[in-house]
Structure 1
Amino acid sequence: MNNDLIIGPDGLSRPIWAASDPLLQDYYDREWGMPIRDKQGLFERISLEAFQSGLSWSIILRKRENFRAAFSHFDPDKVAEFGEEETAKLLNDSGIVRNRRKILATINNAKATKRLREKAGLVDLVWSFQPSSTPRPQTLAEIPTQSAESLALSKSLKKEGFSFVGPTTMFALMEAIGMVDTHLLGSHRRGSSGIWN
């Protein structure tokens, strides 16, 4: 028996982290690991993964609607125009994580996203690092925290001027947007992205 999977009252098998908190369970059941292929959605995920660095995902998830309101629903064109006045407002917004470096990184990354339009664009760049295979973890301990592809993606984004996009953060992004499937074998969500079996 896998102690990392819990069968809920609905009869569905989920990892421990998604089994007790209703907000995390809903996120796990509906969103996590599903493909994101639009620029605004991808910019939001990159931004939230950066804010999550060093914190629990549940903190970010509980503040997500506040983040969306504060960052113009993560429209990179609008965020790229944020200046000192908007930055000061964000630093005083108790509804988000008030970390100056992460706030400035989000504004910087919006500008980098705009510049990428002259090349392939953010979506094509990120998805070009999709690996040819995905992990098949049976336990949480078997889930990697980074990969050769997340390292390469991190380097590529940094070269394009992005920040707070380290290889561990980028692997978390790849998991969140379905580029890799790290749902545990036996979870009801395994293979739900339509990308991996």
Structure 2
Amino acid sequence: MRPRTDVLVLGCSAGGLRALHILLAGLDTRLALPVVAVCHTGSDDVSLLCELLNRSSTLPVHEAMERTTPQAGHVYIAPSGYHLLLGGDGRFALSVDPRVGFARPSIDVLFESAADAHGPRCAGLVMTGANSDGALGLARIRAHGGLGLVQDPAEAEVSVMPAAALAQAGADHCLPLAQLAPLLNRLFAPE
């Protein structure tokens, strides 16, 4: 039996705004864990992204802040220009370390820190995008016994990122976008 999951980390890039709208609109309001996301949107205005996502999300969406402890039933978006990490103390940490794969924030950095902090109690989801960010991080999550999820590349708006994740890490579940929220609800919301 899989251990309880403490956090869901997710990453997306090209096509990610639409994908996040669909995913977040379908989540159960009783979701029993926080959702922490890195989304490469090309915009530096994360507050605007949160505002847009709050229009369709069933859960409140916030910009992640230094030293904040993520709460179940909330969505946190990585701020622009900073790597977002989950520390062993359960709090967010922000870093201005060099870009990873030309990105800051980096999906890999978030995923790897979450895997190291939460081990098998971490789940990672890689969705649509035009680079390979997230593939190494998802591999780390799965190596630590965590759950790996990937949007089906065949129906992703841009298939490069989910295809790279599958090639590098494999997945416990690979589903079309419309089926991801129902799966997350079954896994992480009380019956």
TM-score by length of 1: 0.26
Higher RCO (CA-CA < 8 Å; seq separation 6+): 1
Which is richer in helix? Answer: 1
The structure whose residues are more often strand, as a share, is 2
TM-score scaled to structure 2, two decimals? 0.26
